[in-house]
Structure 1
């Protein structure tokens, strides 16, 4: 996250960590934030074209670290097409989540992804989802908003997310879309 914040120009590399603003405290808040581990087992499916292991969605938080076995299944949407992410042994896949897209005011994009099943092999993955504490409000960094770059997303929190998914069947990036103020 420090590298991401630096890439956004919010803090400079090797800068003394002062407590002058919330952006510099984001890394600390993430350390004290929420983490959820999810283990997935996708058994072989004799008719894989009739089902999905996981429907298209983006992750709610800041970052997701995914460890997958050698069986293909994870796909991301790129230029309106589904692209299979080739598994690399003992490597993590890092997914940008909705919170990072909001915080970066759209400079980083959350990843629309899904999982397809395999006809002959089972697939196992472990995801570690990282975000701010549940009582924290996520908003675009004020350092990324000016006249040329207006605020693109409404502030949000975990209660807004729970209310949204309780009222609708979550699909694709619907929650993130519900937070957009203007089109980029």
Structure 2
């Protein structure tokens, strides 16, 4: 996390460069939730008829994904779905919605999905790191100025749950609903 703050210009090399805001976000991440999800996608002889997981972005701060050697994860890039080639002994790091909001859009939460394989079972383990459920996520004030206006509304987990549980048709994902237009 310190490396992310440093890359945003929010964390200095010395203790004197640290701010209460940055200490607070680190404290909140320490007190946040960590969730491990094991996904099993059985082979499907007609993969065009189903998705292993529909398009979504990760709500939390950061996700680490360990994949087996079977392709399936795809990210959307410039409107096209690109397959993420599995690499042995490595993690895929997905930026979550919290980090995009906190960074005021400097980091981007990626829209992704999982497709099924016609012949092979696919396994993955996702480690999701989120801020506490009651923490109000907002852009860092130090990343807002005349050249970089505030791009996101404040949000918390209750707002997210309300959004995904309403019966209204969804024209956009949750993160898009938090952007100022």
Asked whether the two chains share a fold, i.e. TM above 0.5, the reply is yes
Would you identify which runs of 4 or more consecutive aligned residues in structure 1 move more than 6 Å?
A: 169-172
Gaps in structure 2 of 5+ consecutive residues: none
Q: How does 1:170-181 map to 2 (within 5 A)?
A: 174-181=173-180
Gaps in structure 1 of 5+ consecutive residues: none
Q: Who is 1:8 aligned against?
A: 8
CA shift at 1:40, angstroms? 0.4
CA shift at 1:24, angstroms? 3.0
Q: How does 1:26-65 map to 2 (within 5 A)?
A: 26-65=25-64
CA shift at 1:34, angstroms? 0.8
Q: How does 1:90-101 map to 2 (within 5 A)?
A: 90-101=89-100
CA RMSD of aligned residues (A): 1.8
Whether the aligned pair in 1 keeps the contact of 2:11 and 2:18 (CA below 8 Å) is no
Instruction: Go from structure 1 to structure 2 and tell me whether the alpha carbon gap of 1:17 and 1:92 turns closer, same or farther (over 3 Å shift).
Output: farther
CA distance in 2, matches of 1:122, 1:170: 33
Whether the aligned pair in 2 keeps the contact of 1:63 and 1:131 (CA below 8 Å) is yes
Q: If the length of structure 2 is used for normalisation, what is the TM-score?
A: 0.94
Instruction: Go from structure 1 to structure 2 and tell me whether the alpha carbon gap of 1:19 and 1:6 turns closer, same or farther (over 3 Å shift).
Output: closer
Q: How does 1:64-83 map to 2 (within 5 A)?
A: 64-83=63-82
What is the aligned residue count?
Answer: 181
